[in-house]
Structure 1
Amino acid sequence: MSSLVYQLTATAAQVCSPVVATAAPESLLDVIDHWQTLVGAMFGGLFAVLAALIVAWMAARRERRIAASMVLPEVQQLTAAQLGLSRYLDKWALTEGTERNLAMCRQLVEQRPEVTALYTPMIGQLADIDPRLYSHLFQCQMTHRAFEQALASFEQHDRVFREREKRRAQALRTGEKPGQAFDEEHPHLFAMLDYYAGRALHGWAYCAAHAEFGAYFLDRLIFSRWPNVWHWCRMRLFPNDLDRRSATLLKTGQLSDAGEPE
């Protein structure tokens, strides 16, 4: 009896098995509903990346302007010192070579420009703006270091030279002879003084030239309201005197006539 009931139940289950309904085709609204989440996520990610890039660019631009604001006054100070030195020589009409060199170095000792920002990593923050700008600032730092070393040696020898000249003048006023040792050492000391003066002025000429070009590129590429692309195109297609002198200095390492100290 139980086996008969089991067979009847199994047969009824097979006859009454559910029929799987065929899914209806999706409409346009269903497709849009399925894809809107994915599209929204894609656009949201793109806008987030774009916003992050803008924020990073603005932060880098702000850091560059801060670094340039620290460097620009120093290179302008070096350029102004060169102009002041030229006016000083014109005022006293110094044309003779040795006398001119000694007067220039003594004036630089008295009015030596102070430079600090050029020796800091700030100029490294300006490296990716334009290779000419970074090259001028870096070489301005290097030539200023050489100038300071030569000027320090000149100052030391000049102090000894002036002291000897003072003692010689006192001896002449009292009727005493300076002595043979003084006569032998004086030409040698004067030659050393002239040598260090030449070294100092050589370094100063290059330092002032690089400072002038550095200030020029800082003004055009960082503090100008025009985009850098405009200045790059203008410098390439219609270079002015500063552009040509800068290219000559960077390419040959030689100062043009306009870059020589007055």
Structure 2
Amino acid sequence: MLLLAIDTSTPAVTAAVLSLLRPHELALDPSARAEPVTLLSEHTVTDPFAHAEKLMPLVQQALAESGKALADLDAVVIGLGPGPFTGLRVGVATAQALGDALDIPVHGVGSHDAIARSQPPGPSDHADFLVVTDARRREVYLSAYSASGARLFGPAPITPVAAPAALASAGVTAGRMIGPGTQLLAPVLPLPVPAPTGHLGTGLVLAAARALLTGVVPGPLAPLYLRRPDATAPGPRKSVLGR
């Protein structure tokens, strides 16, 4: 199964091409060591103001590098956030357009779930861990996961200073944190931040793997807009005469 995975929930725009083995294909491997997900190509550009301009060129680069074409794709996986309104809208609209044009399913997954699955725990990582991304307005988007990958908390927009109390209330005792927003949380929650060892594209596909392999028909994509957009509609004009 050939997949395109994209994410625009952070300032980094990511496009990846991956293959996912079906259960019977795994069973055919005589060594029993085949990985279910193989990353063929991944391209990322960090530019918080150019998601629309960067995404499709990255998709084309990833396909070209993997020796594939859009017509070869079996499905699209898109990260649904949380993230800023404009970035998520670009990713979701692009994924929907590709799905419609190619007549293939589009599966949405939580971007924090994908980040959690993109970096597998090390041999000594047995505690809960955090995923942190920048929510702007001096806040972070925060999620907590068990060592096995089950989500325990979030995602939620929260000020860094309020994060320790929120995690304590949820019974979360984290041993590490990952994600592009960890530097914002470090001053109040000095947890280890391991160097990234995986790829977001792999995490996106792993988060959607059950639905992909069981043939679930995906529903409408629902981006995780956890806050109102920065831009708002203007209110009624006020009279200069005070009336």
Query: TM-score with structure 1 length normalisation?
Result: 0.20
Larger Rg, first or second structure (1 or 2): 1
Q: Would you tell me which structure has more strand in proportion to its own residues?
A: 2
Q: Which of the pair is proportionally richer in helix?
A: 1
